[in-house]
Structure 1
Amino acid sequence: MSVELPTWCLPPTLAWPQASQQFGSLHVPILAPSPAQMLHLAERLRASATTMQRLPIARIVAAIDRAATQWFAPDYAPRVQLLNQLPQINGYNQAMLNAVLDRMLADWRAPQLWQRLNEQFGDPLLLDGWRPSVVGESRVLGPRLTWHICAGNVPGVAIQSLIDALLVKSPSLLKVARGEPLWAAAFASSLIEQLPELAESIAVLWWSGGEQALETPILATAEAIIANASDQAIAAVRQRSPAHIRWLDYGSRYSFGYLSQRMLAAPNLAEIAANLAADSVMLEQQGCVSPQALFIEAPSAAQLSQLAALLNQAMADLSQRYPASSAMLAATRRSADEYEWQALSGQPIQLLSQPEQPWLVVVDQGENLPTTTGRLIKLMPVADFAELAQRVSPLRQHLQSATLVCSSEQRAELAEALALLGVVRICHAGQQAFPQAAWHHDGRDPLRSLVRWVDVERSSHLHL
């Protein structure tokens, strides 16, 4: 089956040889450039930086907003095609993809984009030219070329990376992932329709990661790299990267939830369980924000049983709304088999869901913190917060999001403790899958981290 969506986006007049690549059950046309062609592309993109710097930031924001508005329409032809084809590649079901697309697109509307710019720069017009500052006048300049190494576990991550570069007026070369090779090129085409001046400044294509002959010309030309990839993949590229390149690397992360003992008796426990289940199901445990475990403070056997029953009911409801794909069902079955073997071998494992159900609720009282695969919720009882801290402290450099379910009186104290552990985002149940648009991704300002500040100092009356 051939796809109709573009799998690449190149500046005008470039004509490269094509090949075919299988992604999931789809045979997808791809480009097959030579190293010389890749060098020419990178140099052409970087040469467009001067023109891109002259574009007012308001025009760029407006173009992104208009493209997002197009993609919001349920009958927009590229969206319809994406929803038909992407499940055959990444295993998400169409209903969930629909929800994920809408949530991602909401962050690419003008109010959210201006919120991010104001949050990170105070005065977004610093991107357009000189502005008064404490030293005299200042402005910011984005990289002349940003290379994006994109992950395919969550739809839209590549586009978010592209938008970050656009907001600092940096030309972009995106290497899309095997798990999501379609949306970025299609969205880039929509952007260029809205603002044709971007045509010289955006390229999107796929090639097999680690092809040094293709990547060496990019490393020789790029001024920044945004990498959403595994730690191993990032380390491999870093070894070949010149020292001057500015890096924003988003590697392997561990996210979790914490349910305090006091909340086990809360009158709204069913609502809490529904929100916790939604956090687990949305993104199918594929995101860096996805909770790999739910730590529960000092539950009695009866409280654990009650919570498991509520979670099972919530998972049943979610499975009606977002039916698991065949790939997700297979992954869940593999996890169930593994946990059953662990239980039979005497490890402290309890399966609290029925074998025929398309999800798992598991109690794991072991010491290890394995990652989860499939549609499952892993409950990990701890005596208190100090035991949680002991369990996750070895992962300090990888900690990211934590759902905190506790009383209002406990929240400030526990949030402080989580921050000191290394967690960079603390949220309420039901919000874990989708951070706010202006969040500090992995504890950093993504836009400020990309730019270079330039100051023109005012005249000094000091004479040495």
Structure 2
Amino acid sequence: MDREEGAVGWASRESAAEPPVYPAYAVPRGIIFDGFTERRLETSEGTVILSFPILSRSKIEEIAAKVTMNRIAYLAGLRTGEIVDVIDAAVQLWTNPDYELRRKAESWLPALTGYDRDMIRLELKRFMRLFRRKELLRFLEEELDSSAVLDEFRPRRTGGMGRAYGPELIYQVGSGNVPGLPVWSLVMGLLVKSAILSKTASSEPVMAVLFTESLRQIDPKLADSIAVLPWKGGSLDLEAPAMEAAEVVVAYGSDEAVRQIRSRLPEYKRLVSYGHKISFAMVGREALTPDRYQDTVHRLAQDVSTYDQQSCLSPHSVFVESGGSVPPQLFAQLLAAELQRFQLRKPRAAVTREEAQAIHALRNQYELAALNGAGTAVYGSKQGTEWTVIYHPSGEMQASPLNRTVHVIGCLSLEETIPAMPLHRRYSQSVGIAVGPARLQRLAGCLGAAGINRICAVGQMTRTPAGWHHDGRYNLLDLLRWTDMEWSAEQGAELYDPDME
């Protein structure tokens, strides 16, 4: 990419003497920066340098105005089907293992996040397929019945006509715990024909940039309605103009980060936030028969290991029912062994000193409880904190310090654990469930009433389908405003038809 003018190329400097320099930002054509800082990255394909623009309040204001103007000039005039086709064409590029930007993502993301390369390759491939044409159409129909309501006034069941409008500009505050998550926000914004100003996380500043570049390869005018910029969280001088320019703010992050944004946002502006959530799993005796328990353990270990539980969809606890061929404590031991196998194949990312201390503290707490006759047991990796399984003979859902640390809680029946779940309603997210069909509907109904908003199979907890209700809400509808044209307006217009008698 040219380092003075946005989005006119990809690599800005590449020679035998110096590593290539790539932008860790995406802006519309015509945007010029006064300076840059650089970050050296050692990847599996060699050394690269990521370039970060030096930003100011006036530059944020300029970029916000530019993407908004470009939206009015082009994006707002597209039909939803045309936008879907552009996104699908970009995603089709990513289905090719040799696609340049996919190869860069698979090389850069492990170096930036510490996650295993094979894990990123597999999960990123699955994630990008959520945005193929058929999935986007299914997603639109799930929320809107007809996507035409984004293009024109359509008849309403109650009479009259209605049309939905997306915000002129959405300011998105990304999270870096799960690679690719900012792409979800970009796609949602484009589907409602909004200009987008996306702030990336310092721990993962490239995936939104790479995807925007893919869109640019398909439709440069559409990509000119997107700006992806990196700056340090809490930089009020940069966040303020972004909030002032945006009609809606979409924020991912901790509860405290979301609270800070809410406190600075004017009351007349909307905040769509996704804060701290925790998930858990439930394993019934039907999944613990001699021919099924090994697969059940493997699937659960996969849910725990994927992105080291950093996703809000990852299980913190698993309730294991007594009465199967494998009792709950043996299940905990088997899960520990399977996590060790995952560690050998797909090693956990390095953790900070504080994260390691939190895991050691948890282990010490329950080892001491075991000595005092509580019936608990701790199974942990021998050389460090790579994985930990805490066994409880009974009890309620427990939170985890993450990084492949999970609680296994025994119970006489899964049903008996549900009454305590409303106590955790504020933070409850997904449940991975392994039971037979005779119990699934009844358990699902009880879980929904207790505040759970997603129920899926064990092994699929971190892999959401298109159209899922994030945090139990709609995705597109939370962004839209509506205009109703009542029947009286239609009838009144007939009075002024010169051919009307």
Same fold at TM > 0.5:
yes
Residue number in structure 2 paired with 1:234: 258
Structure 2 residue corresponding to 1:97, chosen from 100, 104, 120:
120
Highest CA radius of gyration, 1 or 2? 2
Structure 1 residues 3 and 289: CA distance shift in structure 2, 3 A: farther
Structure 1, 181-190 or 47-56: larger mean CA deviation: 47-56
Indicate if the aligned counterparts of 1:331 and 1:374 stay in contact, CA closer than 8 A.
no
Residue number in structure 1 paired with 2:55: 33
RMSD value over aligned CA atoms?
2.7
* Equivalent-residue separation in structure 2 for 1:390 and 1:428 (angstroms): 22
Does 1:410 pair with 2:429? no
Q: What is the CA-CA distance between 1:443 and the residue it aligns to?
A: 0.8
Structure 2 letter corresponding to 1:68: V
Structure 1 residues 71 and 302: CA distance shift in structure 2, 3 A: closer
Identify unmatched segments of 5+ residues in structure 1: none
Indicate if the aligned counterparts of 1:12 and 1:199 stay in contact, CA closer than 8 A.
no
Deviations 1:387-439 (A, max 9, x none): 53355433211111001222221111111111111110001111101111110
Q: What is the CA-CA distance between 1:458 and the residue it aligns to?
A: 2.3
Structure 1 residues 274 and 344: CA distance shift in structure 2, 3 A: closer
Structure 2 residue corresponding to 1:355, chosen from 362, 382, 405:
382
* Equivalent-residue separation in structure 2 for 1:411 and 1:286 (angstroms): 27
Give matches, 1:11-410, under 5 Å.
11-20=28-37, 28-51=50-73, 52-134=75-157, 135-265=159-289, 267-298=291-322, 303-325=327-349, 327=350, 334=357, 337-347=360-370, 348=374, 349-353=376-380, 355-356=382-383, 358-364=386-392, 369-385=398-414, 388-389=417-418, 391-410=420-439
* Equivalent-residue separation in structure 1 for 2:315 and 2:428 (angstroms): 11
Q: What is the CA-CA distance between 1:72 and the residue it aligns to?
A: 2.1
Structure 1 residues 306 and 23: CA distance shift in structure 2, 3 A: farther
Residue number in structure 1 paired with 2:459: 430
Indicate if the aligned counterparts of 1:332 and 1:360 stay in contact, CA closer than 8 A.
no
Q: What is the CA-CA distance between 1:359 and the residue it aligns to?
A: 2.9
* Equivalent-residue separation in structure 1 for 2:356 and 2:325 (angstroms): 26
Indicate if the aligned counterparts of 2:141 and 2:147 stay in contact, CA closer than 8 A.
yes
Structure 1 residues 37 and 336: CA distance shift in structure 2, 3 A: closer
SS of residue matched to 1:219? helix
* Equivalent-residue separation in structure 1 for 2:35 and 2:318 (angstroms): 47
Structure 1, 32-41 or 352-361: larger mean CA deviation: 352-361
Indicate if the aligned counterparts of 2:37 and 2:54 stay in contact, CA closer than 8 A.
no
* Equivalent-residue separation in structure 2 for 1:396 and 1:426 (angstroms): 15
Q: What is the CA-CA distance between 1:27 and the residue it aligns to?
A: 6.3
Percentage identity across aligned positions?
29
Indicate if the aligned counterparts of 2:289 and 2:326 stay in contact, CA closer than 8 A.
no
Indicate if the aligned counterparts of 2:107 and 2:117 stay in contact, CA closer than 8 A.
yes
For normalisation by structure 2, the TM-score amounts to 0.85
* Equivalent-residue separation in structure 2 for 1:218 and 1:329 (angstroms): 31
Residue number in structure 1 paired with 2:495: none
Structure 1 residues 263 and 81: CA distance shift in structure 2, 3 A: closer
SS of residue matched to 2:37? strand
Q: What is the CA-CA distance between 1:352 and the residue it aligns to?
A: 3.2
Structure 1, 141-150 or 14-23: larger mean CA deviation: 14-23
Structure 2 letter corresponding to 1:310: L
* Equivalent-residue separation in structure 1 for 2:95 and 2:331 (angstroms): 37
Structure 1 residues 420 and 352: CA distance shift in structure 2, 3 A: same
* Equivalent-residue separation in structure 1 for 2:352 and 2:331 (angstroms): 23
SS of residue matched to 2:288? helix
Q: What is the CA-CA distance between 1:350 and the residue it aligns to?
A: 1.2
Structure 1, 74-83 or 12-21: larger mean CA deviation: 12-21
Deviations 1:213-253 (A, max 9, x none): 11111221111111111111111011111122222211100
* Equivalent-residue separation in structure 1 for 2:354 and 2:302 (angstroms): 18
* Equivalent-residue separation in structure 2 for 1:393 and 1:246 (angstroms): 28
Q: What is the CA-CA distance between 1:77 and the residue it aligns to?
A: 1.7
Q: What is the CA-CA distance between 1:192 and the residue it aligns to?
A: 1.7
Structure 2 letter corresponding to 1:99: L
Does 1:447 pair with 2:447? no
Deviations 1:120-163 (A, max 9, x none): 11111111222222322222111000010000000111011010
Deviations 1:46-80 (A, max 9, x none): 23332321012122111111111112221112222
* Equivalent-residue separation in structure 2 for 1:383 and 1:305 (angstroms): 13
Q: How many aligned residue pairs are there?
A: 461
Indicate if the aligned counterparts of 1:95 and 1:322 stay in contact, CA closer than 8 A.
yes
* Equivalent-residue separation in structure 2 for 1:103 and 1:403 (angstroms): 18
Indicate if the aligned counterparts of 2:303 and 2:315 stay in contact, CA closer than 8 A.
yes
Structure 1 residues 23 and 395: CA distance shift in structure 2, 3 A: farther
Deviations 1:105-127 (A, max 9, x none): 11011110111011111111111
SS of residue matched to 2:297? helix
For normalisation by structure 1, the TM-score amounts to 0.91
Structure 2 letter corresponding to 1:82: A
Indicate if the aligned counterparts of 2:172 and 2:249 stay in contact, CA closer than 8 A.
yes
